[in-house]
Amino acid sequence: MDKKALEALLKDMTIEEKVMQLVQIPGSEYEADAEITGVERGQVKDNVKRLAGSTLGIWGAKRLRKIQEQYMKEHPHHIPLMFMLDVIHGHKTVLPCPLGQGAAFDPEAVRKGAEMQAREAAADGVHATFSPMADLCRDARWGRIMESTGEDKLLNSRMAAAMVEGYQGKDRKDPEHIAACVKHFAAYGAAEGGRDYNNTELSEHTLREHYLRSYGEAIKKDPAMVMTSFNSINGIPATGSTFLMKKILREEFGFQGVLISDWGAVGEMINHGYAEDMKDAALKGMLAGVDIDMCSGCYSTHLEELVNTGAVSVEMLDAAVLRVLNMKNDLGLFEDPYRGCNAETGPVITEEGRQLAREAVAASLVLLENKDKTLPLRKDKIAFIGPFADTKRLQSAWAFSGEDENTVTVWEAASEIYAPENRKVAAGCTMMDQDAVTARGICHVENWQQENDRLLAEAVRTAEWADTVVLCLGEDSTQSGEATSKASLKLPAVQRDLLRAIRKTGKKIVTLIFTGRPLELEEVRDLSDALMICWLPGTEGGHGVMDILTGKCAPSGRLPVSFPYTVGQEPLHYDVYPTGRPKPVNGPFEYTSRYLDCENGALYPFGYGLSYTDFAYSDPKLSAQKMTDAETITASITVRNTGDRRGGVTVQLYIRDVTGSRVRPVRELADFKKITLDPGTEETVSFTIKEEMLRFWTAGEKWASEPGKFLVWICNDSNDGQPLEFQLVKAKGE
Ligand code: GLC
């Protein structure tokens, strides 16, 4: 539909029709088995169901086509209903959870993965996904860290931008692409205490320099939507914040798409103590520029009255409705309301899709220890032990449209490689401790102790038979994701008991950790011969893990988030400020910024990961020792594979601004490049340092660089390398 026709449609709509375009209702209003991802607020009225502009949480080509047919018949202007769904890391072919995708440090792979997700979701009638989640996460206690790509603003920026490109493609009318939604705006990951939905207290410069960056970079890729976050920021709920939604989002980021609230977030401004009642909440949502109210009922109940009394102008209402109509029009829904639904078969999992997922799994795995080159596995007798050894539940809580039965377990993949006489499997213990609390409630197992005694005895016998034990441990997928904050990062006690028992057998132990968040792994490190993080790897989890364990692929993953010694260090991140009393690498430590009982830094730092081969690095070089804002400096290093296996390495460029009008982090990731080298070969990796990489939110309250000394590292992780120096002799605008 062209612009004039759209405006004529808007003009012809009643106020009630306009209001309902700004209302999203749960999919359960149309289908019983909808995925409910929020707090339900009772049945919606008939007129709301008949006129609501969009729904969420349902999928399926045939059933969505049927719903659309009925809806279009009944709608006075036959405006299509929009179907939205959380396709976070897979619709049918489920990829590694986003934190695992972040570990691959490969935005192009992430873009391709998002493209596949869009293709599968569109074939099931889905028009929009609530992804990418671009929240910066420095706190492993926050269960939603699993949905992020980690603690670094540059890595998150590149990943979120790649996801928007993958979901939306070049033309949103393309029925194999869907609308993207950048969330949760903003700084949801900075919840106090790591407790979900909690307040965030952030200075404007921390908000701008760290937390807003990835949303801003993703918005440059023109996503159809942005979603507000549940949290309040400095005392104002994000969903009602004109500073965030008008000044930052609309004016500074130039976002012109649809702003949708998170589930119930408009109404939750009452709980925050920011809105008097639902009518006041509806007013505050509209004044902040929230276009669609997801499932709170505030707009459907009070917005028409607010317009009739003039509290909300018709112009403001029309502007919001036009943004929603434009979004539907950009998807071609007026020409084809059944876009994507035509695929009678719906999405099918293809071999090509499985291969893409398998490669994504292998690239996501992070090898943390490999003592005496325990890995790759030799053709020994291998025992696969642990609750993750043969479970199909390898996808996150946010992959609910994927089916577990499509997942390849570690044991199933191993059974394709090892002859029956050389492989055994044993669960070893229950996944969790008795009465563990999960997002789905309390996990209670009948005869739990008796069952674990049996499982443990069987596991020890199995280990005694084997040469090597692959011990598959971790955190159940229902213990990360939304509303799963934890005050402890320990593995379940029953799993730690299993590890200690297997250690006593004296066998080689390769410990695999399946998890949606960093965990405390010091004891696991000490009792294991090899240790690898497998995240929540999804449909091709078993194959990807075995490809690495057998050496078919070399591990190349790098940590997108710091792993702590203890939860007491959280929030933990590498790009900290130096303080006035930095703790020196070697003593004396008195009167310095340190813990009496723990290291300051991470057990395993951001950017860390091992390979099966060895690399030698030349001395890093800078093409010049000074630059103006109009010039650049090339930083380079030559990497050589000195081992006997092919290997991948992510060369990282970090920069520190030594003196500024505000204190500056000890280092910040400024670029990264992933390369793969065959044995005996080398490659020179170069980075271009530009003035814009040196900018920050200055004490003058503006985004600028400042002249002075900078340090540069080209290295392997955020703890590695010796710095070089250069001077910025003239900043922009000087
Ligand atoms: C949830 C989540 C959000 C999701 C939305 C719709 O509460 O916070 O990430 O996209 O509701 O399911």
User: Domains in the chain, ordered, with CATH?
Assistant: 1-85+236-341 (3.20.20.300), 351-560 (3.40.50.1700), 615-728 (2.60.40.10)
Distance CA(632)–CA(689), nearest Å, equals 5
pLDDT band, residue 467 (cuts 50/70/90): very high
Cα-to-centroid distance, 292 and ligand 1 (Å): 14
- Whether the per-residue pLDDT at 519 is higher than 90: the answer is yes
Distance CA(669)–CA(606), nearest Å, equals 10
Q: Quick check: bond before 387 cis, omega within 30?
A: no
Please state, as a whole number, how many other Cβ atoms lie within 10 Å of the Cβ of residue 338: 16
Cα-to-centroid distance, 684 and ligand 1 (Å): 44
Give the Cα-Cα-Cα angle 361, 525, 98 (nearest 5 degrees). Answer: 25
Looking at ligand 1, which residue's alpha carbon is closest to its atom 8?
262
- Whether the per-residue pLDDT at 342 is higher than 70: the answer is no
pLDDT band, residue 42 (cuts 50/70/90): confident
Q: What percent of the chain has pLDDT over 90?
A: 95
Which of ligand 1's atoms lies nearest the C-alpha of 37?
12
Q: What is the pTM of this model?
A: 0.98
pLDDT number for residue 40: 79
Cα-to-centroid distance, 130 and ligand 1 (Å): 7
One DSSP character per residue, 129-150 reads E---B------TTSGGGGGS--
The encoded tokens of residue 37 equal 């991802």
- On whether the CB atoms of residues 485 and 139 are closer than 8 A, the answer is no
Residue-wise pLDDT for 129-150, tens only, equals 999 999 999 999 999 999 999 9
One DSSP character per residue, 367-392 reads EEEEGGG--SPPSS-EEEESTTSS-S
- On whether the CB atoms of residues 668 and 655 are closer than 8 A, the answer is yes
Give the Cα-Cα-Cα angle 31, 123, 364 (nearest 5 degrees). Answer: 105
- On whether the CB atoms of residues 557 and 544 are closer than 8 A, the answer is no
pLDDT number for residue 642: 97
- Whether the per-residue pLDDT at 52 is higher than 70: the answer is yes
Report the chain's mean pLDDT, rounded to a whole number. 96
Cα-to-centroid distance, 259 and ligand 1 (Å): 14
Average pLDDT over residues 108-135: 97
Sign of CA dihedral 150, 151, 152, 156: positive
Q: What percent of the chain has pLDDT over 70?
A: 99
Average pLDDT over residues 682-708: 97
- Whether the per-residue pLDDT at 418 is higher than 80: the answer is yes
Which of ligand 1's atoms lies nearest the C-alpha of 131?
10
Which of ligand 1's atoms lies nearest the C-alpha of 133?
9
Average pLDDT over residues 643-661: 97
pLDDT number for residue 585: 86
Which of ligand 1's atoms lies nearest the C-alpha of 147?
9
Distance CA(20)–CA(299), nearest Å, equals 8
Looking at ligand 1, which residue's alpha carbon is closest to its atom 10?
130
List, in order, residues 6 or more apart from 569 with CB less than 8 Å away: 595, 598, 600, 602
- Whether the per-residue pLDDT at 341 is higher than 80: the answer is no
Looking at ligand 1, which residue's alpha carbon is closest to its atom 12?
37
β-bridge pairing 468-474 and 382-385: parallel
Which of ligand 1's atoms lies nearest the C-alpha of 38?
7
Helix (H) or strand (E) holding 50: helix 46-51
Sign of CA dihedral 129, 293, 249, 149: negative
Cα-to-centroid distance, 19 and ligand 1 (Å): 22
Which of ligand 1's atoms lies nearest the C-alpha of 35?
12
Altogether, the residues listed in the chain come to a count of 734
CA atoms within 13 A on the CB side of 559: 30
Instruction: Give Cα 644 distance to the centre of its chain.
Output: 35
Cα-to-centroid distance, 38 and ligand 1 (Å): 7
Which residues lie with the beta carbon below 6 Å from any ligand 1 atom? 37-38, 56, 86, 130, 183, 262-263, 482
Residue-wise pLDDT for 311-337, tens only, equals 999 999 999 999 999 999 999 999 999
Please state, as a whole number, how many other Cβ atoms lie within 10 Å of the Cβ of residue 402: 23
Question: Which of 37, 59, 131, 167 has most ligand 1 atoms within 8 Å of its beta carbon, as the pocket-test mutant?
Answer: 37
- On whether the CB atoms of residues 620 and 714 are closer than 8 A, the answer is yes
Residue-wise pLDDT for 218-266, tens only, equals 999 999 999 999 999 999 999 999 999 999 999 999 999 999 999 999 9
Average pLDDT over residues 343-354: 87
Distance CA(187)–CA(189), nearest Å, equals 5
Q: Is 262 a catalytic residue?
A: yes
Question: Which of 181, 239, 482 has most ligand 1 atoms within 8 Å of its beta carbon, as the pocket-test mutant?
Answer: 482
- Whether the per-residue pLDDT at 343 is higher than 70: the answer is no
Question: Which of 86, 146, 178, 485 has most ligand 1 atoms within 8 Å of its beta carbon, as the pocket-test mutant?
Answer: 86
- Percent of the chain that is helix, strand, coil (3-state, to 5): 35, 20, 50
Cα-to-centroid distance, 401 and ligand 1 (Å): 14
Catalytic-labelled residue, pool 196, 262, 575, 717: 262
Cα-to-centroid distance, 621 and ligand 1 (Å): 46
Distance CA(669)–CA(649), nearest Å, equals 16
Q: Quick check: bond before 132 cis, omega within 30?
A: yes
- Whether the per-residue pLDDT at 56 is higher than 90: the answer is yes
pLDDT number for residue 39: 85
